[in-house]
Chain A
Amino acid sequence: MQHLETDLLILGGGSAGCIAAMRALQVNPALRVTIFEKSDITYGGSIARGMDALNIVAIPGRTDAQMYLEAVREMSGGIVDAAPSHVMAERSYALLKEMEGWGVKFPVDENGQYKTLKYHVKGEFQTAMDEPELKAMLVKRALDLGARPVNRVMGIRLLTDGGRIAGAVGLNVRTGQLVVCRAKTVLIASGGVSRFTLPNSGYLYGVYDYPGNTGDGFVLALRAGAGVTGMEYTQRTALIKDSNMPLLAICVTRGAKVLDCEGTVLMEGEVNNINAMNVAFTEGRGPVHIQLSHLPEEKIREIEHILFTTERPVNERFFGGRGIDFRKHDIELWPTEYYLCGGHGLAGIRVNERAETAVPGLYAAGDVASVAKQHLTGAFVFGEIAAEQAVKYCAEQPDTMFSEADVEAVRAEHAERFSAKGRDIEIHEFERKVRRMVADYLVSPKNEYKFSLWNYWSETFAKDLRNVAVHSGHELSKLYEIENLLTCADCSAVAGSFRKESRWGETHRRGDYPARDDANWKCHVVVKLKDGVLTPEKTPISELGEEVIL
């Protein structure tokens, strides 16, 4: 077992984690900053390479934070705390300027104005960006300032001291060794729950978001006493059939049409009706497809450039392999997988506009946090906010020390799991079955009977987990990942069963409560672990000037 000591421990070296490390060291260069990164920090996270747009920027004179707040509330069925979304939009333009300072390219039009695209209902917040090396640039800056990454390590338990955060235990996903890190403050930035259901392709890792995101942070926070919210927001997006890579916004905001099987246009020019795609499928008018053939050659080239260089360059190989040329052929979309994530949806650890959770000294940022539909802008802004708060917290608080008994408990469980002897379930079989049951029982259309059937499987899987053969450190990390996935699924079942109404179109549609019920359910459903039981509660939506209830 390796022992480390640091001031700020960041769990997850993706977009939020890296910018947090940078910001913390800018504010206090003497701070010790350690990053546990499950993969390798250079390309780790949902943004392995770059992005085609900074999704939310309120450009002065064109849009503002109030407009954005109205837009995100409309797009989230009203279930949005005001302050976090507002502060994100307020800081978004300064963020863009800061990124320009790193050398990130934001294309401008002939009048020198930033190129923007329509994605939100109220205005053009999405700002075009052209930077295939974004992640590598960010990492270089963080390391240059002195951040210390510990690669191939995932956080598996938070350590506390009288309710206050005191560190974490990590697991090396290659060697299976434990790493204990004492820390004055911890930032969870470990992404959403990507491997939630099975994608139609049947390939376990053929998912939209980074497949290393298995809800680790949600579970860490729950066990430490923080709340998670939006777990009933089981999101399903129409993605490229089989490859599950993104491209809808990239194409549609550049003039593409989305059609159903009858040729009816569902969207054109702006991404304003995602639900119509889901409805088309439900009503038997799928598959929907993107048509680009009417666009001029230069637009098609622009789209190809983005798809094939910036975000997921393997797109070129995928379409090439299937003989699809955008000039002649349409792109088939299927709603194939479900996931939980605060970047695109509402699921996440409850945070306020200071990135604080209910646990003193514990912060959360990025896809793992509950800032509604925050995308990359939220990961960056809240990464910075969390860092600023953490630096202050470190300076004000005395040292902490966790209890050795807590570490010993983790070690004993780890030793018990790290064995294949006498066990007859292979890890990939276990994962496949868990994710299939999640897809069977926890997504729309939902009903009480399905939730009760999930409860049977949840108990069964808890027993099966102890019978999974672990042959290597890598497989051991998978077992911890699937355990996290199961806990997130349990939260989704608890929250989904609790919210006795339908909201957000196909995202939470209950057959037994088909109507939206604002009188009773215009509130958050927050799940906390109370005496070992996942317990849901209603939490009011906060307005500007009000404290977010954590």
Chain B
Amino acid sequence: MKRIVALLFLLSGNLYGNGIAETRVVNVYSHRNYDSDRALYAQFTKLTGIQVNLVEADADKLIERMKAEGIHGPADILITTDVARLERAREAGLLKNIRSTVLENAIPSHLRHPQGAWFGLTKRARVIVYHKTLTTPESLQSYESLALPAFQGKVLMRSSANAYNQSLVASFVAHNGPDKTLVYLKSLVANFARAPQGGDTDNIKAVALGVGTVTWSNTYYLGKLLGSTNPEEVKLAQTVGLIFPDQEGTGTHVNISGAGVSASSSHEKEALAFLEFLVSDEAQRSFALANFEYPVKSGVEMAPVLKAWGTFKEDGLNLAALGTHNAQALRLMNEAGWK
């Protein structure tokens, strides 16, 4: 027993990452946890010989871990699934500014931090999903439509604890100010068909079943449902449609999954190579094909379902604003009674 314990303690030291001097490594803290990503990292290792070490957890927890580990912390890269967390990490001094022409050429400027503290890797559009026969797309051209009296008892939502919902509401705050947003949220909550619950997929299914007629969802959840291995789910997914809201106005809300280089990074060269690989055509294609996210790089091949949904006007809001307004968004959601 003692011998096993001793052995494992030793092992734990070596697995650490800084361990063997000869191997080049990049240590990644990530909120993303998809198998397709891991396959991509393996591809990176094959191409460059740089080993990718991975810890996956909620971004806020990873941020606290980075704070606790301090300047000798092993993390080289932080990946999150929304921009607010990247901003939080930056404000806490956990990210360092990076210059890279590869990254700057591949990623449009509104999808990266002006000084290079973080970079968008994929785009996630939060759209309206509606029941094709129970309602018409004409009545649903804006996020604001969901708060109209016509949709009383028809709106399905997941909890206000969800970061994607907070981010969308943060964009309302940025565009319209807190007072107008609160009025809107109160009408929206009054339209809820049931207490907020489940995930995006749950609510899409509930729309398909007529529990309500509309919900918000990130596009990739609908993409995954349409590609489900369960034919019953595919049938359900086919009864709903998708609308990119506010095409006449500010544009559809887009958040990013993005990454920054840790301030404590001791493998900066490897970290940069890793980020540059993630905006390569190959990696961008994998994000789009395997996970139905939108690539940040233009001209990359997309999954057929994304192509079928067509192009859309994105909200041009500076993404950092979503981070700034995130807390206020949740306060307003609390005040409006969005559980």
A and B physically associate: no
Residues of B within 8 A of A (CB): none
